[in-house]
A and B are shown apart, each in its own frame.
Chain A
């Protein structure tokens, strides 16, 4: 254990001496994929709840494909498949993008996460009571303001628990990037295992890092949820505006669904 750490500790965290590796790469992949997936999911989930079939169906089809095939296959399709196209190899910009696993991995993860996230958001959007939307329309709010002031703030709050799962799923999914030459935590663990034959220790260290990241993310989302759902909690106690009021530790557990 100690010698694996001595030899690969820095590589697990940020550098193998030549380039960035390990935790830094995993975090980079996660952040990029989650943010891009989120940004794509906002309009896509609106399309999924649209009354117009020509808006809704293409996005539904996209989600069906992306949620119905393995992420590994999607990653390979982009990394090997797309680069295999003559057109892509002949276009310098596209070739530069799709040649590099460091580009293909976040693209694949973001596209995949966008599909799952838009399904989560769409069901949250459907859950916003129609009466509240009517109340907003009835006082003259524009369609745009109804979305930004009423519907999204309501929907995103209710989507937090499901969305936090999705973010953790993306974190775990980034381990697939090691298959396309990206030196993330998983790749370092594999290198360490192959070089030292101490496979259990090598993968154990990787597991410990992923585990702590997952818990950190969970804790962040829990805090976020606590702050944003103050309007629903602790019945009977007077609620006042300062939202960031510290809450007793017990109330976290009580209020988990």
Chain B
């Protein structure tokens, strides 16, 4: 049985979705920062996709230069605050901390990062200014982490930047897709507002770029275009009965959860299909929303799950049951989902085989499909000369992030197929430098 009571108010929602990395107080930040060894060629820094100078910012916190610490962080990563909260630090910086080798707890780098950046955001301390206007204009498609990072970097160099966002809020998955116990909506939005106030890029909300005409307009009006559109909707499983009511995609459902909080109703019995981090999030979130029974169903065995071990443990500790080696064959029910028919599988050296005659039915009231997102191949194919790989990911130069259509640059999930916020931040920043380099080369 789930340990969480169905949240009926925002306060109860916040209780069930208590922040896993809460803000440190001054005492905690002082003691924690005192522990840092200031390693040479620091493994934590090498493990950070944006290569933040972690020993430096921790030393700065320790010596009372918290503003300087925030500057060090934002210099490397424009969404330093969000990344402090949402990064899987256990497999990145903190996982690389040398203390691990002596079974001493790793430095809580993510929380220290959040501590420093939260301070400058709360006190509205100006760290950056837009560069002298250089007369160049760049359009950014998508106000997610990649797009925001690209815009910030371009503004520092003096570019005029217009971001076109299909939704009504910025931050992409940081607001719409990440588990609410990792970051609150306010925290994610505050950071973009903090950056926008200093750097002054424009975001055009509810302004999707979806057809050739819109693309042509951008091509005419802007010197370069950055594509930071992320991934598409949840991919169809092509299952019989998939169209039934209460069969939802994880990405869409989590977006609903992030926007509606306690007002989203989650029925009693939930089955989540998938073995990745999004499946773990959806399962954990369903349990925290008060579902009586949450079953995580993965078609292979536990070791083959794509999810991080800590994400799996988070789900299990929220009361989720995990069933391995089963694959859905049909969604049952009359209009509304009433159950799923599964078949057992066996793994023959990596090749999944169905065990004939092993079908069984599991009654449930909702099915969440966390089986991957479709790529926005249809949209991307409208850009002339833009090559995609076999999995519909945009092909880019690995240092400049320029696509095969020289006017377009791209980064984030649309390029890597779905990674962390911190990877998108890195891509966006690098693409901005790539854009600058390319435009200079045309002179």
- Do A and B actually bind? no
